[in-house]
Each structure stands twice: as structure tokens, then as C-alpha cells.
Amino acid sequence: VSATEALNRVDVQLGDRAYPVHIGPGARRLLPEILAGLGASAAFVVTARPREAAPDPGPAVRSRVLEVADGEAAKTMAAVAGLCEEFARFGLTRGDVVVSCGGGSTTDTVGLAAALYHRGIPVVHVPTSLLAQVDASVGGKTAVNLPSGKNLAGTYWQPAAVLCDTDYLASLPERERVNGYGEIARCHFIGAGDLRGLGIAEQITASVTLKARIVAADERDTGLRQVLNYGHTLGHAIEHVSDFAVRHGEAVGIGTVFAGRLARALGRIDAARSGEHEEVVRHYGLPTRIPAALAARDPDLVSQMRRDKKTGPGDGLVFVLDGPDGVEPVRGVPESVVRGVLAGLRE
């Protein structure tokens, strides 16, 4: 029995840029086969994990492994330029492949370098955090941070394949695991159904299947892809106002509970469905309340939410909410209702 037989496969259907996502224990061992399929003669592996944990490109290609720093501070234009220079020194050509191995900060940065080098060369993502496996590595968004803000410089660059090796997750610190569950929890309400009780590979597979379907229908985030933003309007505001003391997934957990309560306050869903939000978020060990430290910050949360990327001129407050016709962006939500729901969500 081959070691990779137990893997799940999800295809992101984007025509001539379609690609597979392989999910399960040992998925990194597919790399040589993937490289052969791409016709690469060289592979440049950029890893934020220890060198020994990086996927092996195999003996058929010339390869190099470069260890890099990760985290938000490493998502810079300078890092991208540095990677491109390393690719050039190694002699990477347009027919070769870049491989990223790390969390979302690494797949975002390496993805952008691959998009720019030689005007774009194939990249294979090997995400190692739960958040990167369920979200960041799939969908083709790449970006780095600027001094003025997060993810301000980037491009769409779809990977050639994604290998979600669940063996990596064994070393993940508990807080990082919970952080990843924030993205899985919101999938419950945007079409994935109830994933509680499934094994981790199945939960990742279901989340990726959902994201793949949405990305295939709206690659450039002009409409449908906004449903992936479920729980994120308040989530992003909490991240900002807490100066990123609250992690992304944690903030999305709180934002998901808020989205349920707001939809209820607007008469879009019943009390049971609203309560389900809280149950699911709590099930994953995520926070369900706005931390006490932000108690006096509702005005800041509201003004931050007004700057949300879904908001166009004259839209007012915009949230992605559940309702009788399913999940959709809702514009012009009255601030008084938002304030009332926030007040009820205090720790």
C-alpha cells in the first residue's frame, strides 16, 4: 500500500490554471511526482520549518533548500526581493518550480516572489500551520505587508499544487491550532455543514472543498468570494483595535458569534440558528466574547468596520450575514443595531 493512498484530493477548477490540493498524512511525499508532472528540472524550496522537515524534491531535479524567518515581520518587500535574488543565483528558470514550506506568512511571501520572478514561475505550497492548510495556501492570493498596513502589496498567483501534510500539525502550538479552527468554524455557516466530530484531515478537506468552489466561481473577489469573509468584519476590527493581541482565527471566532447575533437582531435568522454560531465557535475552543480589555472600544470597532474592504461609497456598514436566502453581503446595517449587538457580546 502506497503511503499516499490515504490522501484526499480537491481540485481547484480554474481552467488552464486548475490545480490539485492533496490533504492527509505524508502529503509532502508527493512533491517529486508533482515536480515531474510540471516538467521541472530544478526546484527551490523556501522553508520556515527546520530543514529536515522541508519536503524532499527527490533525486530527479536539481534543488536547494533555503531556511527563512516567518511571521508578520517577515512579510516584506525586502524579503520578496531577497528571494528573487536567491532564485537567480541558483539559476532558476521559467520552467522550474519554487516550493514554499511554512505557515501563511511564508506561503504569502514565497507565493508573491514566485509571481514576480521571471514574471511568474510555478509555485507549490506545502503549508504547515492549520490556518495555512485550510485557508492561506489555497486561492491564489499572495501579499506582503507595508509600513502602512497588512497585505497591502500583492497579486493573484495560483499555485501549481498544494500539499497539506497533516503530519506537520503535530508540532503546532495549541494557540496556533485554535487559530486555524477559527477559519474552519466559519465554514459551518457558509456551506460546509457541520464538521464537528470529523478527523482533522476531513475537516481540512471540507474547508478546502468549499473554498475551492468559491474561488473557482470568483477568483478575483468581486462578489461570491465575499462569503469567505464571514465573521471577518468584526474579526478584522478586533485584530486591529487589539493591536493584533487577538489572533486572526480567535477574532474570526468572536466575529462569527457576532454575525449570528446580528443576523438574529435584523430578523434574518431564528434564535436557534443564532445560538448555533456560539455552540460551534465554543466547540472549537475559540473565544466567543469581545475581550474585557476592549470594553471601552466599541466606537473604534465600529469605525474600523466602516473601513472594511467590502464597503463601497455610500454602503454604510456591510456584513456578510446568514438569512432566508443563505449567506450574502448586507449593506447599510444601522449602527444602532450593531452597537446593541456589540454591547451584548462583552466578556
Ligand X SMILES: NC(=O)c1ccc[n+]([C@@H]2O[C@H](COP(=O)([O-])OP(=O)(O)OC[C@H]3O[C@@H](n4cnc5c(N)ncnc54)[C@H](O)[C@@H]3O)[C@@H](O)[C@H]2O)c1
Contact residues: ligand X, CB under 6 A: 48-49, 70-72, 75, 102-106, 108, 128-129, 131-132, 135-136, 139, 141, 151, 168, 171-172, 176, 179
**Residue 43 and residue 63 in contact, taking contact as beta carbons nearer than 8 Å:** yes
Ranked by CB distance to ligand X, the top (closest) residue is: 104
Strand partners, 22: 9, 163
Q: Nearest distance from residue 139's CB to ligand X, in Å?
A: 5
Q: Nearest distance from residue 337's CB to ligand X, in Å?
A: 29
Which residue, 25 or 104, is less far from ligand X as judged by CB?
104
Which residue, 141 or 264, is less far from ligand X as judged by CB?
141
For 198-203, the CB contacts below 8 A with 24+ separation are 200/130, 200/166, 200/169, 201/8, 201/23, 201/24, 201/25, 201/166, 202/8, 203/134
CA distances from 5 to 55, 167, 307 (A): 18, 15, 46
Which residue, 167 or 328, is less far from ligand X as judged by CB?
167
Which residue, 132 or 241, is less far from ligand X as judged by CB?
132
Which residue, 102 or 253, is less far from ligand X as judged by CB?
102
Question: SS3 string of 75-141?
Answer: CCHHHHHHHHHHHHHHCCCCCCEEEEEECHHHHHHHHHHHHHHHHCCCEEEEECCHHHHHHHCCCCE
The CA distance from 114 to 100, in Å, is 10
**Strand 97-102 relative to strand 123-127, pairing:** parallel
Q: Which of 159, 160, 122, 105 is nearest to 43 (CA)?
A: 122
Q: Nearest distance from residue 143's CB to ligand X, in Å?
A: 7
Q: Nearest distance from residue 225's CB to ligand X, in Å?
A: 10
Which residue, 168 or 333, is less far from ligand X as judged by CB?
168
Q: Nearest distance from residue 138's CB to ligand X, in Å?
A: 7
Q: Nearest distance from residue 278's CB to ligand X, in Å?
A: 23
Q: Nearest distance from residue 221's CB to ligand X, in Å?
A: 10
Q: Which of 131, 137, 135 is nearest to 178 (CA)?
A: 131
Which residue, 240 or 261, is less far from ligand X as judged by CB?
240
**Strand 42-47 relative to strand 62-67, pairing:** parallel
